[in-house]
């Protein structure tokens, strides 16, 4: 065999051996990353936050139809006009506050400035839990999803308050609503990406509730009103009451 042919053959063998070793190293790194990822997972119980809000109500009725008949008029005046059921009564809810002192202050202000006697009720959202085997990133995404309704309520509450106190005009309020929708939609999308195909009954319930949540925010972005002549402030409050009710139903189902 000519000397050049031998050299070429040796070169090809050396190249082949080098490529083989590189392939082995790539495979080893891949298997190592899988091992690290699998060992990073652990059985975890993740809990949602519990939430208490204090609700200003303008009226109540023994029937839902009776409360609904009163609600539309309040919506034209900036009240949420959402009908909440508690202790066998149907309340016409105006707004909800995280601190009882804030709610009492508003209650007294309405009495002094408008000569209206308001009712004050507390609305409880219990914590609920989901147990899964997850890694650290999956845990973060799931935790955000469990608290998405609370987060949405707080975002909309701030927008409504800013609108009522003239910090926002209607244009800036609508822009803030779009931003809130984007924030919550990202949380829901990340959750669906990681857990949408996981066979778990609680996760399915959470998926359905997140879909309702994003749909509610989408309708708010679109400006779809509940009744004629409803103000933007009323609509924001109505939607956050709708979201609080979705959270309560989810907690009860899970």
Cβ atoms of residues 96 and 215 within 8 Å: no
Is the per-residue pLDDT at 60 higher than 80?
Answer: yes
**pLDDT at residue 77, rounded to an integer:** 86
**pLDDT at residue 117, rounded to an integer:** 87
Q: DSSP state, 199? A: -
59 pairs with which residues across the strands? 92
**pLDDT at residue 72, rounded to an integer:** 86
CA end-to-end distance (rounded Å), the chain = 78
Is the per-residue pLDDT at 27 higher than 70?
Answer: no
Phi, psi angle pair for 18, to nearest 5°: -65, -45
Confidence of residue 61 (pLDDT cuts 50, 70, 90): very high
Closest CA to 244 of 157, 127, 125: 125
Confidence of residue 240 (pLDDT cuts 50, 70, 90): very high
How many Å apart are CA 169 and CA 74, to the nearest integer? 21
Say which residue the tokens 């309560």 belong to. Answer: 248
Q: What is each CA distance from 122 to 39, 53, 82, 83, 160, in whole angstroms?
A: 44, 6, 15, 14, 20
CA neighbours closer than 13 Å in the CB half-sphere of residue 210? 26
Is the per-residue pLDDT at 37 higher than 60?
Answer: no
Confidence of residue 33 (pLDDT cuts 50, 70, 90): low
Confidence of residue 74 (pLDDT cuts 50, 70, 90): confident
pLDDT tens, residue by residue, 215-232: 999 999 999 999 889 999
9 three-state secondary structure:
helix
pLDDT tens, residue by residue, 138-165: 999 999 999 999 999 999 999 999 999 9
How many Å apart are CA 170 and CA 162, to the nearest integer? 10
**pLDDT at residue 196, rounded to an integer:** 87
**pLDDT at residue 36, rounded to an integer:** 47
Closest CA to 40 of 140, 129, 144: 140
**pLDDT at residue 51, rounded to an integer:** 93
**pLDDT at residue 193, rounded to an integer:** 96
């Amino acid at each position: 065999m000519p000397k050049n042919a031998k050299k070429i053959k040796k070169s090809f063998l050396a190249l082949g051996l080098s490529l083989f070793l590189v392939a082995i190293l790539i495979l080893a790194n891949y298997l190592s990353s899988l091992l690290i990822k699998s060992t990073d997972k652990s059985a975890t119980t993740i809990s949602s936050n519990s939430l208490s809000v204090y609700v200003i109500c303008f009226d109540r009725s023994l029937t839902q139809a009776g409360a609904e008949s009163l609600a539309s008029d309040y919506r034209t005046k900036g009240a949420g006009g959402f009908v909440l059921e508690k202790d066998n009564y149907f309340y016409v809810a105006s707004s909800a506050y995280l601190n009882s002192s804030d709610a009492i202050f508003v209650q007294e202000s309405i009495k002094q400035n408008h000569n209206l006697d308001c009712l004050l009720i507390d609305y409880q959202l219990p914590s609920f839990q989901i147990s899964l085997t997850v890694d650290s990133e999956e845990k973060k995404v799931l935790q955000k999803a469990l608290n998405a309704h609370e987060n949405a309520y707080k975002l909309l509450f701030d927008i409504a308050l800013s609108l009522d106190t003239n910090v926002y005009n209607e244009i800036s309020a609508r822009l803030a609503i779009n931003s809130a929708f984007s924030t919550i939609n990202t949380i829901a999308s990340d959750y669906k990406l990681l857990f949408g195909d996981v066979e778990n009954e609680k996760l399915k319930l959470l998926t359905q509730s997140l879909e309702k949540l994003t749909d509610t925010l989408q309708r708010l972005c679109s400006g779809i009103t509940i009744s004629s002549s409803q103000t933007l402030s009323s609509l924001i409050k109505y939607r956050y009451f709708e979201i609080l009710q979705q959270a309560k139903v989810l907690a009860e189902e899970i």
